[in-house]
Chain A
Amino acid sequence: MRLSALWPGGFAVFFLVAVVGGSLLTVVLQFRDSNLVEVLSDTYLHSVIRFTLWQAMLSTLLSVGLALPVARAYARQSHFFGRHTLVMLMGLPVVMPVIVAVLGIVSIYGHNGVINQLLRVTGVAPAFNIYGLSGILLAHVFFNLPLAVRLLLPAWEQIPGESWRLANTLGMSSSQLFRFIEWPSLTSFLPGTLVIIFLLCFTSFAVVLTLGGGPNATTVEVAIYQTLRFDFDPARATLLALIQLALCATIALAMIRWLRALPISQGLQLQTKDRPDCQALTYRIQDAVLIVASTLFIGLPIAAIVVAGLQGPILGVILDPVLWQATGRSLGIALLATSLASLVALGLAMTARRLVLEYRKPQATDIALWVGSLTLAVPPMVIGTGLFLWVLMTDMPQMTTLLLIALVNALMVLPYALRSIAPVLINSGRHYHRLCQQLGLEGWMRFRLIDWPAIRRPVAFAAGLGGALSFGDMGVAALFDTSGAITLPVMLYYRMSAYRFDEAAVTALVLVLISVLVFWLLNRTLGRWPS
Chain B
Amino acid sequence: MAFLTLEQITFALGDWQLRASVQVPQGHCVALIGASGAGKSTLLSLIAGFETPDRGQILVNDVDISSFAPSQRPVTMMFQEHNLFAHLSLYDNIALGCHPGLKLTATDRDTIDRALAATGLSELSSRRPADVSGGERQRAALARCLCQKRPVLLLDEPFASLDPRLRQQMHELVDQLRRAHGLTVIVVSHLPHEVARIADEVIFMHEGSVKEQGPVDITLGDPQSPELRDYLQFTGGE
Measured CB to CB, the residues of A under 8 A from B are: 431-432, 434-435, 437-442, 445, 449-450, 453-454
Contact = CB atoms under 8 A, between A and B. Distances in A.
The 6 closest A-B pairs by CB, nearest first: A440-B71, A431-B82, A437-B70, A453-B87, A441-B100, A440-B100
A435 B71 CA distance: 9
Contacts of A434: 48, 50, 70, 77, 79
B167 to A, nearest CB: 22
Contact of A439 (B49, B87, B97): B97
Interface in B112-165: 148
Nearest to A452: B87
Given A437-B50, A437-B70, A438-B70, A449 B82 contact: no
A484 to B, nearest CB: 49
B85 interface: yes
B102 interface: yes
Interface of B: 48-50, 69-72, 76-77, 79, 82-83, 85, 87-88, 96-97, 100-102, 148
Contacts of B48: 434, 438
Contacts of B88: 449
A432 B82 contact: yes
A438 to B, nearest CB: 5
A453 B102 CA distance: 15
A432 B83 CA distance: 8
A81 B102 CA distance: 47
Given A432-B82, A445-B100, A437 B87 contact: no
A460 B98 CA distance: 32
Contacts of A438: 48, 70-71, 76-77
7 contacts: A434-B79, A437-B71, A438-B76, A439-B71, A439-B148, A440-B100, A449-B101
B79 A441 contact: no
A529 to B, nearest CB: 14
Contacts of A454: 87
A434 B71 CA distance: 10
A439 B79 contact: no
A437 B69 contact: yes
Nearest to B84: A435
Contacts of B85: 432, 435, 449-450
A434 B46 CA distance: 12
Contacts of A445: 100-101
Nearest to B101: A445
Contacts of B100: 439-442, 445, 449
A438 B85 CA distance: 13
Contacts of B96: 439, 441, 449
A99 to B, nearest CB: 40
B145 to A, nearest CB: 10
A450 B93 CA distance: 11
Nearest to B150: A438
Given A440-B71, A450-B85, A453-B87, A435 B79 contact: yes
Contacts of B50: 434, 437
B76 A435 contact: no
Nearest to A431: B82
Contacts of B101: 445, 449
Contact of B82 (A435, A439, A442): A435
A441 B82 CA distance: 15
Given A440-B69, A449-B88, 13 more contacts: A435-B83, A437-B50, A437-B69, A437-B70, A437-B71, A438-B70, A439-B100, A439-B148, A440-B71, A441-B96, A449-B100, A449-B101, A449-B102
Contacts of A437: 49-50, 69-71
Nearest to B76: A438
A512 B148 CA distance: 54
B39 to A, nearest CB: 17
Contacts of B148: 439
Nearest to A456: B87
B100, B101, B102, B148 pick with most chain A CB within 10 angstroms: B100
A365 to B, nearest CB: 19
A439 B100 CA distance: 6
A117 B167 CA distance: 75
A440 B69 CA distance: 9
A23 B82 CA distance: 46
A431, A449, A450 pick with most chain B CB within 10 angstroms: A449
A434 B76 CA distance: 11
B56 to A, nearest CB: 21
Nearest to A434: B50
A450 B96 CA distance: 11
A434, A438, A441 pick with most chain B CB within 10 angstroms: A438
